[in-house]
Amino acid sequence: MSKLFISNETDRLISVILGTAASSGKAPRIDEAYDPKSIEHLKAGTYPKVVDMVNEMEAFNRVLQKHNVQVFRPNAIEDCNQIFTRDIGFVIDDLFFISNILPNREKEIDAIQYIIDKIDPKYVIRLPEDVHVEGGDVMIHNEYIFIGTYKGDDYPNIITARTNMEAVKYLKNKFPNKIVKEFDLNKSATEPRDNALHLDCCFQPVSTNKAIIYKGGFKEESEYQFLVNLFGKENIFEITRDEMYHMNSNVFSIAPNIVVSEQNFTRLNTWLREQGITVEEIPYAEISKQEGLLRCSTLPLIRRADFKI
């Protein structure tokens, strides 16, 4: 494998780990679910079927292959949900960080070990035990590292709080030359419309200077306003509470001018095209029932600004 490199969310994608739904197994019990949206669909009897999720992920894979992206997949673990690879690791610059995630998800890291083994060990970092972080809360934007977190004293008891302030402190120390900015996110274990499970559930950069954002995902209005000021209000696409629920901010950039999006995101996809962005629309609504979407399903390894399609 070429040397890892990720410096933002939108440079031309060269290499990525895409999750798999192939061995997801039967639906979990309600007490086994990690998020309120999954619980909502389990109670309603509308939890996604494996065959539908496999078809959606293969549609995503075909788009990546169409654009000549090198795609790795996890080794399949029987009866294990391995769709959301973003949770289990992330790359900043040339370093691969293995996340500390929910304990019963550790085997998902084992399933990508064959990929990690291709990386020079000096560039692979296993985070300290007290540093809790999932990749959906880590967003690279050139000189910035944005981190979604939860600052409440009840953090250990909040199942939807995945990244703690120890992670923020750790990354500030690790990258003294970058601006590490944390965002205190609104969490709910019972109402998915009020639960920003990760930062990418309420915010994501697109193109080179634009962003999708949901104001209600942020506890502090000043932190939301920081992002609006950084990108400029004219470059911001504000999504509604319902659009946040359907994961409109969780699209995925192949390049500054190419975005993979869910086919039902009519308002967003129209805006993206108005910005001169090619939108690759695919079905992904079944996977979204687990409170994750396109960005959540990917773990980018290499992006290059100087790579031309």
Element holding 63 (H helix, E strand): helix 50-66
Name the DSSP class of 142. T
Q: Classify residue 3: in a domain, yes or no.
A: no
Find the domain containing 291 and state its range.
12-304
In sequence order, what are the beta bridge partners of 212?
Answer: 204, 237
pLDDT at 198 over 60: yes
pLDDT at 180 over 80: yes
Q: Classify residue 64: in a domain, yes or no.
A: yes
Q: Classify residue 166: in a domain, yes or no.
A: yes
Number of domains making up the chain: 1
pTM here? 0.94
Torsion angle (degrees, nearest 10) of CA 49, 67, 11, 272: -70
C-alpha distances out from residue 85 to 99, 109, 224, 268, Å: 11, 9, 27, 24
Residue 217 DSSP SS3: helix
Nearest to 165 by CA among 175, 153, 179: 153
pLDDT at 250 over 90: yes
Q: How many CB atoms are located within 10 Å of the residue 304 CB?
A: 16
Q: Classify residue 2: in a domain, yes or no.
A: no
Per residue in 132-178, pLDDT (tens digit) is: 999 999 999 999 999 999 897 777 777 777 899 999 999 999 999 99
pLDDT band at 26 (very low <50, low <70, confident <90, very high): confident
Residue 60 DSSP SS3: helix
| Angle subtended at Cα 287 by Cα 68 and Cα 62, rounded to the nearest 5 degrees | 20
pLDDT at 71: 98
pLDDT band at 286 (very low <50, low <70, confident <90, very high): very high
Q: How many CB atoms are located within 10 Å of the residue 259 CB?
A: 26
Q: Classify residue 1: in a domain, yes or no.
A: no
Q: Classify residue 262: in a domain, yes or no.
A: yes
pLDDT at 8: 98
Q: Which two tokens stand for residue 34?
A: 């990690």
Q: Classify residue 125: in a domain, yes or no.
A: yes
CB 85 within 8 A of CB 18: yes
- Which residues, at least 6 apart from 106, have a Cβ–Cβ distance to it below 8 Å? none
Per residue in 41-82, pLDDT (tens digit) is: 888 888 889 999 999 999 999 999 999 999 999 999 988 889
CATH of the domain at 89: 3.75.10.10
Q: Classify residue 6: in a domain, yes or no.
A: no
- Phi and psi of 204, rounded to 5°? -165, 135
